[in-house]
Amino acid sequence: MLNVKRIREDFPVLQRKVYGKPLVYLDNAATSQKPRQVIEALREYYESYNANVHRAVHALGMEATDRYEAARRKVSQFIGAPNPECIVFTRNTTEALNLVSYAWAQHHLGPGDEVLTTRMEHHSNLVPWQRACQERGATLKFIPHAEDGCLDLSGLDSLITERTKLVTVTHMSNVLGTINPVGLIARQAHARGAVVVVDGAQSVPHLPVNVQELDCDFLAFSAHKMLGPTGIGVLYIRPEITDQLEPFLRGGEMVREVWYDHATWNDMPYRFEAGTPNIADAIAFGAAIDYLSALGMEQVRQHEMALTSYALKRFRELEEVQVFGPGDVTVRGGVVSFHHPQVHPHDLGTFLDREGVAIRAGHHCAMPLVRSLGVVATARASFYLYNTEEEVDVLIAALQKATRYFARATERVTQAKRA
C-alpha cells in the first residue's frame, strides 16, 4: 500500500490553500503536480551543469549529456523497451503522435488505404489522422464503443482488413476512464500487417505499461502527466520499424553528414531529435521516473483502483448526477466524468474551486466523444497517487453544496419571474 500521507509531503503545492481552503487537486488527467525531487533536478541542472548536449568537449557539456542520456535509459526501462535508442524525446504526446503521422503515415498511406481508430480519442490522436487520410486519399474508420464506455470489439475482424495500414488507439480514455485492451487489438492488427500506435498519455502515468506486452509499434506519452515537467514527452518506436520512417524535423543533430545539396541521417534516436533538445526537462523527467519506480506502478494502480471504487460508490449517493464510463474499476482508471442536469459543468467547476476543489470542465479535447454523450461538456475529477478518500469526501460534499446552492438560485429566479 502507498503511504500517501508521506508521499504528500513531497509535493509542495499540496500544502497550499485556495480561497482559504486546503487545495484538493483533482485535475490530474490534465497535468499532475510535481514532487520536490523533480523541482530539485531542474534547479540542479541550471545551477550546476547547464550546457548543450552531445557536441561539447567540456565537463559541463559531458555531464549534461550523461544525465540526458541517463533519463532516456530510465524511460526505456520504465516501459520495458528493448533499448534506449527506441526512445525519442518530443515536446508532448501531441508532438509524438504528429511525428508518427508525418514520419510514417505520410509515406505509407495511399488512396484506398484505411486508418482505424476509436470514437473516444483525444483530439491529438484524431486530428493528425484526419489530415493524413485527407492528404493521402485514405479513409478513417472507427471501432465503436458500448454505452458503458467499453470498446465493442465484436466486429474487429471485419473492421481490420488488408487495406488497414494503421491502427491507433488510446490506452486509457481521458473522458471515460476506459482502459482499452490494446494488446489484443495490436495482435489482430499485426496479423493483417497494420502498424499499431498507442496513445499512452493517460495510461503510462497510472498503470504498469510494457511495450512488449502491448505489442505496439509506437507509444506516445507526456512527462507532465506523470510528475515530470511540461515540455517533454516521448515517442517509443519499435526498432524493427525504424527503417520505414522518414525524418520529421530537419536541421542540426539529426544528420550524419551534410553537403550543399543533400544530407544523410543520424542514428536512432537522434534522427528524430532535431535541434537542441529540452535538456533540463528530460533530466527532471528522469527524476519523476525514479520517483514512480521507487513506489512501484502496481502500487500506484492499486491505490487509484481503490480510490476510484470509493469515488464511484460516493457518486452513487448523488442521485441527480450522471457518471460516464465503465463501472468496473478493473477496466477503468482514476478519471470520473460526470454531468449534473441542473448545473452547467463550468458553473460547477467555478463553485468547486471556491471550496478548494480543482476539477476540469469542458470537452476535454474530445469534442466528438463528449457530443456523443448527449452533453455539451462534462465535469471531470481525476486522481493520482497523492489523492485520498478524504479528498473524495470533500468533492462529494462540495457537489452536494453546489446542488443546494443552484437549486435555491433557480427557485429565486422562478419566484422573481412569478412576482
Q: Is 92 in the site for ligand PMP (CB under 6 A)?
A: yes
For helices 279-295 and 297-315, what crossing angle results, to 10°? 80
Torsion over CA: 297, 299, 302, 306 (sign):
negative
Query: Is 33 near ligand PMP (CB under 6 A)?
Result: no
| Binds ligand PMP by CB under 6 A, chosen from 194, 201, 359, 395 | 201
Distance of CA 81 to the CA centre of its chain: 18
Residue 307 touching ligand PMP (CB under 6 A): no
Sign, CA torsion 285/286/291/293? positive
Q: What is the smallest separation between the CB atom of 126 and ligand PMP, expressed in angstroms? A: 10
Q: Which is nearer to ligand PMP, 92 or 403 (CB)?
A: 92
Neighbours of 322 (CB within 10 A): 15
118 vs 266 by CB, closer to ligand PMP: 118
Q: Does 378 bind ligand PMP (CB under 6 A)?
A: no
Q: How far is the CB of 365 from ligand PMP (least distance, A)?
A: 6
Q: Which of 74, 122, 238, 332 binds ligand PMP (CB under 6 A)?
A: 122
362 conformational bin, left if phi > 0, alpha if psi -120 to 50, beta if neither: left
229-248 binders of ligand PMP (CB under 6 A) = none
Which one of 117, 168, 170, 387 is in contact with ligand PMP (CB under 6 A)?
170
Determine, following the binding rule CB under 6 A, whether residue 101 of this chain makes contact with ligand PMP: no
How many residues does the structure list for the chain?
419
Sole window of 87-95, 252-260, 275-283, 322-330 interacting with ligand PMP (rule: CB under 6 A): 87-95
Out of 33, 94, 164, 337, which residue is the one contacting ligand PMP (CB under 6 A)?
Answer: 94
Residue 325 contacts residue 173 (beta carbons within 8 Å): yes
- Which of 27, 113, 199, 217 binds ligand PMP (CB under 6 A)? It is 199
The nearest distance, CB 202 to ligand PMP, in angstroms, is 5
* Residue position matching grid coordinates 488497414: 164
- Could you tell me where the beta strands, DSSP code E, fall in 5-75? 17-18, 21-22, 24-25
CA atoms within 13 A on the CB side of 88: 34
* 290, amino acid identity: D
How far apart (Å, rounded) are the C-alpha atoms in residues 336 and 380? 6
Q: How many residues contact ligand PMP, by CB under 6 A?
A: 14
Residues 207-226 that bind ligand PMP (CB under 6 A): 222
Shortest separation between residue 376's beta carbon and ligand PMP, angstroms: 19
Q: Under the criterion CB under 6 A, does residue 65 sit at the interface with ligand PMP?
A: no
C-alpha cell of residue 208: 504498469
* Nearer CB in complex with ligand PMP: 94/387: 94
Rounded CA gap, 197 and 199, in Å? 7
Q: Which helix or strand (DSSP H or E) is residue 357 part of? A: strand 357-358
Closest to ligand PMP by CB, 93 or 403: 93
| By CB under 6 A, residue 169 contacts ligand PMP | no
- Dump strand ranges (E) for 129-194: 139-143, 164-170
Tell me if 311 contacts ligand PMP by CB under 6 A.
Answer: no
* Measured torsion, CA atoms of residues 381, 386, 391, 395, in degrees rounded to the nearest 10: -10
Q: Which of 32, 202, 337, 387 binds ligand PMP (CB under 6 A)?
A: 202
Marked catalytic residue, from 133, 150, 216, 365: 365
Secondary structure of residue 84 in the 3-state scheme: helix
**Residue (292 or 365) nearer to ligand PMP, CB:** 365
3-state secondary structure of 382: strand
365 noted as active-site residue: yes
**CB-based contacts of 7: which residues, under 8 Å, 6+ apart?**
295, 385, 386
Of 32, 93, 278, 337, which one interacts with ligand PMP (CB under 6 A)? Answer: 93
Q: Which of 76, 124, 178, 180 touches ligand PMP by CB under 6 A?
A: 124
Q: Segment 326-365, which members bind ligand PMP (CB under 6 A)?
A: 365
Active site (catalytic) residues = 365
Q: Which residues bind ligand PMP (CB under 6 A)?
A: 29, 92-94, 122, 124-125, 170, 174, 199, 201-202, 222, 365
